[in-house]
Structures are given as structure tokens and as C-alpha cells.
A and B are shown apart, each in its own frame.
Chain A
Amino acid sequence: MTSDLDIFVGNTTLIDEEVYQLWLDGYTVSEAVSRRLRGGLLERSGTSVSVLQSDTRDHFRTFQMLERLLHSPPRLCQQLLFQIPPPRQAALIQGYYAFEPALARELLGKKLSKGTKKELDEVSARTGLSLRACRRQFDNFKRVFKAVEELKGPLAELIQQHFLLPPPLARDYAAIVFFANSRFETGKRRLQFLSFGDLAACAQHMMGHWTQGAMTPEAAEPDGDVPRSFLQDLKELKVLVSDKDLLDQHKSLVCSALRGKISVYNEMETNFKALSRALVNVGLKLPHPRDVRDFFVDLVEKVLDPCRSDHWSLGDLRLFLGSYTTAPRALGGFRHQLLWERYMAGISACLLRMYHE
């Protein structure tokens, strides 16, 4: 006696969180059943394998029906087909849009295109995630990217609005969109030590300090891009390293401020010019799309690595960046104070996040 048809429909849609996770992880019904069996469910509830199979199939079917709605979460809240209590809806959405940081790390800075999607099997092999889960997460990135591509306003808030995600998750997505827009190179071996969290934080700092949305909420340009005007202005900062006098003054100001305060004073003093040149040059490269890719590589190779080899502590770096940023206030003849501080605020935050002692 085989069951051809076997369904269970509740007035309130029944959702088993454990099974939902198995579905999200990309398991097939039979894989999910064997996983549930391993979890000792059979012993606890005293039921049979066939019951477990039927239950799993039922849940998977429900999730497949829900998936269409999960692609546009506000619809999930408005639809009439499945009666799901709002907290459950939120949990479903959150679960569906949650992603593996390792996967996101792999994809950061890559074009969210069909080509990248085809490479997912390699990513799947590297991260240990199932291909299905990789695809779902990739599609989520792409969907969010497409949805906010043309919109104006603060990115994280837009994503939160359109996908009803909790704020931290929305911020992570904003970072992914930011990276997809900016196409920073992050895949180099030199950068492998940076986690998704590090890079996402950097993206948030850059957006926070540099993008238009950070300055005026009703900005004219989408948040995913750093405004061109700002990038163009960065050229003005060149004087800080090209003008010998300014550079020297800057150095003496920083040195006098930090004397006795940091443990690596001597190293700082000797390296000051190199560091300053690196920090300013990163900014100078930003307006050129081709050079933008090297942003993180430059920061790591030219700023963080020297510091690390000189055994700077995080506190040292913080103090240095602090006075390095504020010192030009006392520089006569430097007129781009605001621009400088706006630029350095972003850079400092990134560096501090990226500096692993």
C-alpha cells in the first residue's frame, strides 16, 4: 500500500524550524530525513520513518510554495494564501535571507552575473555549502542588488524597507551591494585574512562617511556609489604629500602630539612619510575606476603590513590615525580641512577594523 498523495494543510501554516533550516541548507527530502533521524527524533517522539518522510515532504512542499513569496517579503506579509503569524513571517524571511559569511566573502567584489553563478560549484566545494544553498544565497544577493540598483537614499534602509530584514542583516546586504557596485579587489591572497565581517564593516564605514546619503538624506545619487564629486575633490589632497613643506609640518605636528604616547614612536617617526604617502595615494587612486580595485591591497600592503612588522598595537594605530587626521588643522595653507577629515574618517575606520595584530 503506497501513498500517492499525502498532504497536511493547517489553517495556520505549520512551520518546523529544524526542517526549514534543512531546506535552506539545500538538502533533498531523503537527505533531510536521514539528518532528522540522526538527530534522534525517532526515539524522542516514538514515531516511524514513514511518518518522518511524510512530514518532511509536507514541509518541503510548503517551503517551495512559500519561496515565490519570499522573493518579495512585503508580499509575504500581504498575501492571503498562507496564514502565518507576523513573528513567524519575520523568522522565515530572516532565515531565507541569512547567508554564509564564507560564501559572501568569496563573492565580494565580483560581478553578480551569470558567469559568477556558474562558478558557484567551486565556491560550494571551497565553503562546504551545498550548491543549492549557494545558488539561493547568490540569487538573494542579486535580487537585493537589482531591487535597490535604481533607488535613491540610504542603502541599508532601502533594503530593510524592501526586504523587511532586521537592521544588521540589511546592513550586511548594503555592504554586499556596495562591493558589487565598487568592484574592489578582495580575492587576492594577501587579503585572505580579512573576513566578510571586516570587509562589510569597511563598506559600512565608507558608505557612512563618504556617500552622499551620509551627508544629506535626500541625496540625488544612489548610495551604493561614492559620489563622483567627492572622488574628484580627493585630488586636492595631493598637496599633503607633494608639498615637501606641508609633509614636514604635518610630520612634526603628529610627532609632537604623539611623543610619549605611543610605544612605537620611533618606528612611526621613521615611517611617517611612507605612511602618509600611502594614505593619501589611496585616496588619489579612488577617482580612477581601474585603480579602485587596489584599494584594499594598497591599504594592507602599504599601511598595515609596515605597522604590523613594527609591532604597532591597535591602540597605537588609533592614536596615530587620530592625530594624523586632526593635525592638518594647524597646517597653514591647507584649505581642504573638511574634505580631508571626511576622507580620513572613512580610511581610519577601515584600517582599524582591518588591523589584526
Chain B
Amino acid sequence: MPGKLKVKIVAGRHLPVMDRASDLTDAFVEVKFGNTTFKTDVYPKSLNPQWNSEWFKFEVDDEELQDEPLQITVLDHDTYSANDAIGKVYIDIDPLLYSEAATVISGWFPIYDTIHGIRGEINVVVKVDLFNDLNRFRQSSCGVKFFCTTSIPKCYRAVIIHGFVEELVVNEDPEYQWIDRIRTPRASNEARQRLISLMSGELQRKIGLKVLEMRGNAVVGYLQCFDLEGESGLVVRAIGTVCTLDKLSNTSAFLPACNSPSKEMKEIPFNEDPNPNTHSSGPSTPLKNQTYSFSPSKSYSRQSSSSDTDLSLTPKTGMGSGSAGKEGGPFKTLLRQQTQSALEQREFPFFTLTTFPPGFLVHVGGVVSARSVKLLDRIHNPDEPETRDAWWAEIRQEIKSHAKALGCHAVVGYSESTSICEEVCILSASGTAAVLNPRFLQDGTVEGCLEQRIEEASPPGCGFCHIPYDELNMPFPAHLTYCYNCRKQKVPDVLFTTIDLPVEAIVIGKGCLIQARLCRLKKKAQAEANATSISNLLPFMEYEVHTQLMNKLKLRGMNALFGLRIQITVGENMLMGLASATGVYLAALPTPGGIQIAGKTPNDGTYEQHISHMQKKINDTIAKNKELYEINPPELPEEIIGSPIPEPRQRSRLLRSQSESSDEVTELDLSHGKKDAFVLEIDDTDAMEDVHSLLTDAPPPSGFYSCNTEIMPGISNWTPEIQMFTAVRVSRLGNINLTNQTLNKNFNDLCENLLKSLYFKLRSMVPCCLCHVNFTVALPEDELVQIAVTAVAITFDKNQTLQANKAPTEKSQQRASTDNEEQLQFPLELCPDPLASQPSLPAKEVLEGATSQTGIPAAQRDRCNSWIELIKLKAQTIRRGSIKTTASLDKTSPLAEGYLRHRSVPSCTNSTVSVVKMTPLSFLPGAKITKYLGIINMFFIRETTSLREEGGVSGFLHAFIAEVFAMVRAHVAALGGNAVVSYIMKQCVFMENPNKNQAQCLINVSGDAVIFVRESELEMLPVQPSTVVSQPTSSGGDVTT
């Protein structure tokens, strides 16, 4: 009996009128967890009932705690007929299950009904008493932390990054053909919501078990997706990166021993003995490491498969689970034959992270991706989801071999996705092949070749660009030069990656969002024929998307892409490809050559003229873009660049492209990829269209920048104002005589117009940058294209942009120092008497961080300021004398939270709603995340049978998305948080039937609930809360102000 869940229903407000006669409602509440249900009394005749119930107690297994959501139903009591449901609230209690996160869930939740939307609010308090359970064979994995964030969360330190974890569960979809049974009562929607909630709980628990077996304590970059396979079922799958994380405040004890904050930060990863004080799970010596050295992939998958079968025997869930059980066989034998390096021992050396601790990423090879087309068949036995598992294993294997071909041992920035249309499913996986520093990984044993590479000590800022593969045995035709930064190693001419721009990278100018858009018609076909035609189309699409990206990159005078995401969507009669990435100019890579146009009929005078006109236009665009994005690489003498290159042929090409003369167009080498100057051959009208479309991409209006990565290269002085938004458009491709060209143009216009309207809407925020712009394309019906965009607009200070191009070392120093501040502020605050334990160092450290930020030499101001700081600290501890004990009792910084809550009460006197920020990024500009409260993973269905009355499709979806935001915010606020980071809308499935006046939409969102503190407030914090808390004691007379 390892847990007791306690729930209290406090009150309701703004309930809908359920009794027309009295214009009032007789509301009561049912609280359900697992199979136990409690009821409150009926609160008669009120729209604002005050139930103030007793504590309802559920005594449950922790396994159940992880799987089940708490279900709260508000009903209207009716004496003569059945009670009418008003709506429901599902609360995921997972955040209460690990000790560092929230301790209580308490607040107002919107009461949600799948037919009517939000109908009033209910105030609920939820607590969990968890008893320790040391049973090794337990089925639960309470205590494993989950993060959607694809980097090491801000207030943690990665002790070990273990590697890839995956799991999937399948079930039958309770309602797979909604349109046929459109009059489905809300019960059907609710069954579906509940099932998915259960499945994701189960999935998370199983992943947690794997994490514990890998001896990690957290999953970072957790990505959970649903595949609505229609008749063949419902798949919930997840991937993530297992880590052993250490809360940063724990390390503060030995931190002051280090003099320079920046040095300290850099050394943490290399520390042989990283956690001397607290952690038990992390191995501390290489020798001890050996004792753990079971092959992680093998053992954990076996164990989990056995646990899976155990699970399937438990009667309460009728669903199955998947795992690398039987199907893993051949791969493992394959593995055994291989010489094993630290990474190769893993089944899949994949990492879902996109940002890494400094020094982790050694070299980057390039993007690897794999797709496969599958025919869905009914999942006859949900307990044996092997087929789905095998499909993914196959793809992952392919990714792995691609990475190997690039001379890389790992794949970073890894993600998986699907696109389903009828019974055809495209599975996609992509990532960036990379060589990693093994010191971060569990197995300390380092292979010779790996070790060697690292010992070479690649210079910061360009090391990751250096090719990991063998120059003489290149996997693909590439054009290598010596690195423009260190001139020691070879680099490719362009670099495509799926990760974020490493902090240490040296970038010239700013970045920009680059998209490749493509449509291909396909014949309507059934089953196998359909799958075959799709498989045949895929390589062409990939090729064209790649070409478009390359052209657009060159057109902007840039040489690298980060955050590349290629999405291929399948519809009934077409395929759509949308690739988004952030283009930058990496100082280490060569200057990209221009684009040259060549015509097929050189004798035709007018044609020639036209070509040269186009050429001029392109050259102008490139020049304009270079100016726009401030790309002014330092001019290098050509000899220096050219001389190390042995082949004279290549050298001449290089020179030619540098001079950008267009008179050499006649001598063409069409095997592109081998040359600098990119040649576009115009041989028919199609190609002409392509060139035109290249030039139609309008640059963002002045004051706007956009990117799809976390940070915008070249902008660092963010101001705290952010605006997260979701925009959705559905367009009808009306024509019957569609051609690829018109389709392409329509699709292109759709995307461009959408971007344009975003810029227009957000014009009041200028200067600002749209970050993490995430497009998703769906083809819900024959002629419909749906595009959903989620992004965040962040304002920045224009006046300081000049300072933005700081040397990267300076930047990393800055980062380190701010991180240090983060570590210190809170321990300091809570330490009952900081003066006794560490006389002057902490204050000094903090100060150093602050001063180095403002750019004033720290040493000069050091002495007097630290003196002032000391006085402040002293005063504070004296003042806080009476409340000291209560403050230090709590696990983290209760003062910070109290202060925060106090502050977040808006100035509007009647308002009690606290502001919750949402962002797809992992950070909030100008703020520090002080606590992670747990993962938010919510799934909602909304349906209407009165579409016109709700304002048509736009009104319906607008309201629904607003409701989803509201419910996410309410949950975060109830956890005590004030922001969601790494927010993502993973699914938005919209279906309409205007003739029947009906529509339905499914939305799945996730993110990390956090508490943040503004940096400006943080400085005041040590003083401010004491005044807040000391108010009661002031009567005692021990406060002097």
C-alpha cells in the first residue's frame, strides 16, 4: 500500500445554468480514481457552490498512481431524471510523485465538457502521501523525472547522459470512425480522452522503469506521440534521453572552492569524481563503472520485456505494451559481432537532446534520416505490439548505419514522426550524426580512436564543424576545405543538422528561417499499390527538398542549417513536404558561392537575355540578404584559403566562385555538391518556375527576425516580453486540374501568407524575433491543406545589438557566471547563517557574476561591493531571525515561491488569476527557472453539432485552442508554477462536416511546468521576502526599518 491520495473539493464558480426554471444549478461533484468514487453533497440552487468537502482518501498502489488520472466530474442533481453532467477535470497527479517537484496541487480548474467546452471552474486541492517502497521488483517508477526540454534543464547538472529510451503501447481506438457515428455522445469522447490519459501514464511508467534499470534518474527530451491509426488502433509511443541529473544547489557546497566561475562550469563535465556529496546512483570511479558494465541495451530490454508480460496479466488494463523483446534478436547478434566501443554497445546510441553541455559534442557529421512506408493492419492482440516495435527498430537500425557511414558513433537531435492516411503510414526518423565526448556517457571505457580525437583538443567554436569521417573515404561527394577558423582540420562546404546551434559556435551575422515546400500529386490507390507509389515518390521528394534548401541557403549567403526538420505528409491524392531550418553563416565554413543559372538553348538571344536578367536578380538578392543578415565575413587572401587544397581542379573552382563571374557558365559540371558555385539549369518551364519561386520568398519586414531554433544567432539582448501563439489555417485547393506546379505555388503562397500575417499581427512587438517557429502540415481531406504554426515572439533591445557579436568565449563566460548565480542565490537565501559557514565567498561570487554581466571590471568594484553585500546579508539574517526555522524546513525556496505568488497577483483588484507564461523554448528571457514542477501532457477532444452557431470552423477551433491554453495554464498555476517551457502542440487533428453542421478536433500538448523568477526581482529577493514574511513579527517589535 504505497500511497494515499487525498482530494478536497472546495468550491465552484460561474457554473452554467442547468435548471431553466430557476436559472440556477444544483451541483455536486464525483471524485473518481481507479475504481473508487466519492461524492460531495449537493449544493442547491447556486452557480457558485461552496462544497468545502472533507478530504476524500484513496489508498492505492504507486503503479496505479502513475497510470491513472484523477477524474473529477461536476454534475447537476435532478430529482426526477438522470443527473446531468456539467463537465470534467482530469488531473495528472504524476508531478506529486517525485520529491523535488510540487507538493500540492491546488487551484481553480476549468470544468471541461467535450461538447460545450469550458463551463465554469472548480477549486480542488490534491495531495499525495507516498510511502517508501524498496521492492526491487516493483512495477512503478515513481521518482523518475521527465522533461520535455531537449537540453539539460536549467537548474540541473548532467552527471551522466545514459542514452536512448523508447517504448510504445497500443490499444483499440474507442471511436475510430467519428464521421460515421457523428452523433456519438460525449461518453465516447470521454472514453477516448481517458484511455489516452491512461495509456500515456502507463507508457511513462514503463519508460521510468527502463530509466531505473539504466541507473538514471531522469528522462530529458521526452517526446510522446499518438498515432491515430483509425481502424487499426491507437498507438502511444515515446522516446527520450536517459540522464542522471543532479540538482545544482546540491553542488554549491564545493563550488566556492573554484576561483573562476567560468572555469568551474567548464570543468564540471570533465570532473572524474563529479558528485562527492549526495548521489548514490552515479558511478564515481572508472573501476566501479566496470562493475556496472552490463550491456545496457540488452539487459534492460530483456528485463522490461519480462516485466511487460507481467503487466499484461494485470486485469485492470486491457491494453498491451511493446518493447524490444523478440524482434531485437537479429540486431543483437549483429551487435555482438561488432567490435564494441562505448557507444556501440548501446542498441541505439541516440540522443533526443538538441543542446548539450559544453564539450559534449565533438564533431558533427550531418543529417541522417530514414523513412519507411507501412500498411496498417488491425492490431489483433494489443498485448503483442511487436509489429509496431519492429517497424521502428528497423528504421532506427537504418539511422544507425547511416551515422556509421558518416564516421559517427552517435545520433543527436533525434526525433521520430509518422504521417497516416487511411491504411498507409509513413514512419520517419531523423537526427544528426555526431561524435560525442564519452566522458559524459556511462561507460567510461574509451576506444583508442575516439580518445585520440578528443585529445586533439579541437578549438572551441569550430571543433564541431570538423569532419568526423575519413577524407579519403568520404561517404558522399563533398567539397572539403581547411577550417576557416583554426586552419588545422577539414570542414565541409555546408553543414546540415537537426540540433540547435551550439553556444560556442562562432557565427557571423544573424540567422533566418529557411523553408523548403513541396507538393507531389499521386494517384489515388488502394493498399499495396498506394504504398508502392508513395515509396517511389519519397526519394524524389527528399532530393527536391534538399535542393530547395540548398538553393535558399545559398541565396541568403549562408553555409549551415540548424534545427532541420523535414516533414512529409501523406494525403489521399498528394504528398506534401515541408522542411524548416535556421540558416546561419558559420565562420569555420567557407563562404558559399553564388547561384548560377544556365540555359539549355544558349543560341537564342532573347532567352540569353532573360537568363542574364534572372542571374542579376539572384545576385542582387544574395547581396541584399547579406546586408540584411549582417553577413560580413572577414576578407581572407585567397591563397590562404586555396593553398591547402591539393587538387588544382577544385582550387580553380573555388577561385571562380569567389570572383562570382558569370561568364564561365558554359563549362558546367552537373554533379552538384562538388562545386562551390551552385548551378541551376533551366531546361524547361518547370525549372523556370523553381527559380521564380526561389525569389518569391519575401524577407521578414524590418525589425523582425525568425528562426526555428531555441536561440537566434546574432541576438542576445532579449527583453522579457514574450508572446506564444498558435495559428492554424485550412485551405481548400479548389481546382480539379491540379498540377504539381500550381500545387507548389498554392502551398508556397499559403505558407508565405501565414508568415506575413504573423508578422503583421505581432508588429507592435518590433524589434522582435519569432523563435522556435514550428510548422506542421496535415492533409485532413481530399482537397484540404491544414497548416498549424506554434512559435514565440520575443522582443529584444535594438540598441544593444551591436554588442551581440561578442567573442564566443566571452559569451560562454557570461553564461557560466549567470549559472553560478543561479546556483548560489537560493542556497544562500536558505542558509540560516551564511556568514558563519562561508564568510565572504558566496557574496563575492554573486557579485562577480553580476558585474561581469554589466561589463564593469569585477576586480575594481569587488571589495567595496562585497562589503555592502555582506552588510545586506547580515541585516537580512538578523531580521529573519524569527522565521528562520520555518523557512529552512521546506525543500526548496519557499520564500521565492511565496514572494512570487505574492507578486503575481495582478494589480486588478478583483482578479485572482495568476499569469502563466508559455513558450516553446527551454528558457524565459530575463528570468531564471528556479524549479521544475513536472511534465504537462494533455489530450483533449472537442466536438460540436452546432458549428454555425459557434462561429463556423474558425470560431470553433479558436475557442478550442484558447480553452486548451487555459487548461494548461490552470494546471501549471495549480502546481504552483508560473510558466510552461518547451511547450509543444504535438497534434491538432481537425475534422469537419459543414453539411451536418458538425466538427471535431483533437489536440495533444505537452511541456514542462516551472517556477521562474525575473532576474531583476532575483536581485531584490534576499531583502524583499523578509519584509513580506516579517509582517506578522513586526508586532513583536524585532523589526527595525
- Chain A residues packing against B (C-beta within 8 Å): 1-14, 45-48, 50-52, 54-55, 57-58, 61-62, 64-65, 74-75, 77-83, 85-87, 89-90, 164
Contacts and interface: CB of A to CB of B under 8 A. Distances in A.
Contacts of A8: 725-727, 757-758, 761
B948 interface: no
B138 interface: no
A47 B700 CA distance: 11
A85 B728 CA distance: 24
Interface stretch (B321-329, B443-451, B731-739): B731-739
Contacts of A58: 761, 958
Contacts of B763: 45
Given A1-B750, A7-B954, A86-B908, A77 B729 contact: no
Contact of A61 (B727, B759, B908, B955): B955
Given A7-B958, A45-B763, A81-B963, A55 B953 contact: no
A79 B958 contact: no
A133 B1030 CA distance: 52
Interface stretch (B33-41, B214-222, B300-308, B911-919): B911-919
A65 B910 contact: no
Given A77-B910, A78-B13, A4 B731 contact: yes
Contacts of A64: 951, 955
Contacts of B727: 7-9
Interface string B719-731: 0000111111111
Contacts of B734: 1-2
B392 interface: no
A64 B958 CA distance: 12
Interface of B: 13-14, 108, 110, 118, 121, 701, 723-734, 746, 749-750, 753, 756-761, 763, 784, 786, 906-908, 910-913, 915-918, 951, 953-955, 957-959, 961-963, 965-966, 969-970, 990
Contacts of B757: 8, 47, 51, 54-55
Contacts of B756: 47-48, 51
Contact of A90 (B14, B108, B908, B918): B908
A64 to B, nearest CB: 7
**Listed residue (A1, A54, A75, A164) with the most chain B CB atoms within 10 angstroms of its CB:** A1
A71 B723 CA distance: 27
A46 B953 CA distance: 29
B484 to A, nearest CB: 37
Contacts of A89: 908, 911
- What 4 A-B pairs are tightest by C-beta distance, nearest first? A86-B908, A5-B730, A77-B911, A86-B906
A80 B760 contact: no
Contacts, number: 150
B14 A79 contact: yes
Given A1-B732, A78-B13, 13 more contacts: A1-B734, A5-B954, A7-B729, A9-B727, A14-B723, A14-B725, A47-B757, A61-B955, A62-B958, A77-B911, A78-B912, A86-B911, A90-B908
Given A11-B917, A80-B108, A85-B915, A1 B733 contact: yes
A259 to B, nearest CB: 54
Which one of A2, A78, A80, A86 has the greatest number of beta carbons of chain B within 10 Å? A80
29 contacts: A1-B749, A2-B731, A4-B731, A5-B957, A5-B990, A6-B728, A6-B729, A6-B954, A7-B728, A8-B758, A9-B725, A10-B724, A11-B918, A12-B723, A14-B761, A47-B756, A55-B757, A58-B958, A62-B958, A77-B912, A78-B910, A80-B108, A80-B969, A81-B966, A83-B916, A83-B965, A85-B906, A86-B907, A87-B908
Contact of B969 (A54, A62, A83): A83
Nearest to B956: A5
A79 B962 CA distance: 12
Contacts of A79: 14, 913
B950 to A, nearest CB: 10
Contacts of B759: 47
B14 A2 contact: no
A313 B490 CA distance: 96
Contacts of A48: 753, 756
A85 B915 CA distance: 8
Given A11-B918, A65-B958, A80-B110, A4 B732 contact: yes
A9 B913 contact: no
B732 A2 contact: yes
Most buried by B among A13, A14, A57, A64: A14
A160 to B, nearest CB: 11
A157 B800 CA distance: 48
B121 A9 contact: no
Contacts of B911: 77-78, 86, 89
Nearest to B117: A81
Contacts of B724: 10-11
B954 A81 contact: no
Given A4-B953, A78-B913, A61 B733 contact: no
B108 A46 contact: no
B954 A9 contact: no
A50 B728 CA distance: 16
Contact of A9 (B908, B958, B970): B958
Contact of B110 (A14, A55, A81, A87): A81
Nearest to A17: B764
A80 B954 contact: no
A333 to B, nearest CB: 53
A313 to B, nearest CB: 45
B832 to A, nearest CB: 37
Nearest to A64: B951
A89 B910 CA distance: 11
Contacts of A62: 958
Given A1-B731, A61-B955, A164 B110 contact: no
A40 B399 CA distance: 54
B970 A80 contact: yes
